[in-house]
Chain A
Amino acid sequence: MAPTLRPDVLVIGAGPAGSMTAKWAAKRGASVLLLEKRQEIGSPVRCGEGMSKEWLREVGITPGRWINVEVEGARIYSPSEKVFEINEKHAGNEVGYVVERDEFDKQLAIDAANAGVEIRLKTAAIGLLREGGRIVGAKVKQFGETTEIRAPVTVAADGFESQVGRWAGIPTDLALRDMDTCLQYRMTNVDSDVRYCDFFLGKVAPGGYVWVFPKGEGLANVGIGVQVSQVKNLADAKTYLDRWIEHHPGYAKGKKIDMVGGGVSISPPLKQTVADGIMLVGDAARMIDPLTGGGIANGCIAGKICGEVAAEAAALGDPSKAFLQKYERGWRARLEEKLYRNWLAKEKLVTLSDETFDKIVDALAGIRLEKLNVHNILKAVQAKYPEVTQEFAAFL
């Protein structure tokens, strides 16, 4: 058995949230060990690769070669393909980049390494170490060899399929309605527009949407998310996506060069993300935006807070749940209201008929919105289709 390692902070998972946590813990003076179970950080890519950009400065990420395309806006398509355009003018910096996710993840790991973080590849956590009810590290398997890594603070950043949180006894279970099953093709020779990320709503993707994120030169990520509670048959995600492509000649003529899938939580925020000696961050903590399905921004924002609190807890020698609440309070103050608001909006959206989607998008297509928010959207819809807004009385 290899010798026991003793960092101040042990971070499990080198996705964006994990690398960000590790980096900020190191910047605040902690010795940090970052584990990645795969052999290559950032690969295989699992997500749509779209992200907003207004938060990058806040967490200390500088734009780099991981930016693939900078889009001007997003287009929302109703079932009968009426279009509503969201651009920077009324959405602020919510719109942003299509990125090379593997490059992005590697850049964040490089940033972490530059801050002094130790990184171990091909190292999977297989269990947690406990002492008097407190988590004091993890049992890991590295190149087939089992080792124990003891650390005052452990951080679970092991993504959507997180096991670490469950091992720690933090409930992260998802109901069928709280998850989307996703599939995406990278396609070449398609007619995507590099100025926009496109979203197609309604029955083309029950409880979710079809997305097209342009990657330039006729390349695009074409994907789908379907709410698991609305899945009727085996492989519905694939069936719906293939059908959508078939019905869109600009895509049907393209060629698929890559295929990825995954799960995305679309749940309300977790009630608890810390326990004695351990914190959960990113997709593992169900921080994915339940409306857009995007997880990178929230994972990085929470990661910074998590890293700072981890370093402080290690320095003070107090990794108790009571102290780690500082992280819990911090990320909630920054993210919870929006997560909750977007969850409510999503809960409503998944119940709408195609006809209602059409009316909403039609009402919005004809006008210029000053600022994009639920209130302004509903006002616009009310002006044209008063009967529709009755469904949204609670939001007005």
Chain B
Amino acid sequence: MPNKKSLHIESSGQLCIYCGACVGICPLNCIYLDETRITFDESVCTRCEICVKACPVGAIEIG
């Protein structure tokens, strides 16, 4: 089994400020922002980590 990394968006409001920066840059269009809820489609995400860099507050982690 390939070692599939998991992506975690801290979206409970502890870190995320619902700014949409990650949504706009995800090349696969798999992050969704709905007012104060952010979700992403795990089956589409390639773990490219672009959104991790785009987040101004560091709410996204891949490990």
CB pair A235 B56 closer than 8 Å: yes
Name the CB-closest residue of B to A227: B53
Name the CB-closest residue of B to A141: B34
CB pair A38 B35 closer than 8 Å: yes
Residues on A with beta carbons closer than 8 Å to the beta carbon of B50: 176, 228
CB pair B21 A181 closer than 8 Å: yes
Beyond A124-B34, A160-B24, A179-B25, whether A231 also contacts B53 by CB under 8 A is yes
- The interface on chain B, measured as residues whose beta carbon lies within 8 A of the other chain's beta carbons, has a size of 23
Residue with the greatest number of chain A CB neighbours at <10 A, chosen from B22, B50, B54, B56: B56
CB pair B24 A261 closer than 8 Å: no
* Interface-side segment among A5-13, A99-107, A161-169, A340-348: A161-169
Q: Once the chains are docked, how many angstroms separate the CA of A234 from the CA of B10?
A: 13
CB pair A237 B56 closer than 8 Å: yes
List residues 148-183 of chain A with CB under 8 A from any CB of chain B: 159-163, 166, 173-174, 176, 179, 181-183
27 residue pairs from A and B, CB less than 8 Å apart = A38-B35, A39-B35, A159-B24, A160-B20, A161-B20, A161-B21, A161-B23, A163-B29, A166-B29, A174-B24, A176-B50, A179-B21, A181-B53, A228-B50, A233-B58, A234-B55, A238-B57, A238-B58, A259-B17, A260-B19, A262-B19, A262-B21, A262-B56, A263-B21, A263-B25, A263-B54, A265-B24
Given contacts A176-B50, A179-B21, 10 further A-B contacts (CB under 8 A): A38-B35, A39-B35, A160-B20, A179-B24, A181-B53, A181-B55, A228-B50, A231-B53, A238-B56, A259-B17
Give me the interface of A with B, judged by CB distance under 8 Å. 37-39, 44, 46, 124, 159-163, 166, 173-174, 176, 179, 181-183, 226, 228-229, 231, 233-235, 237-238, 259-263, 265
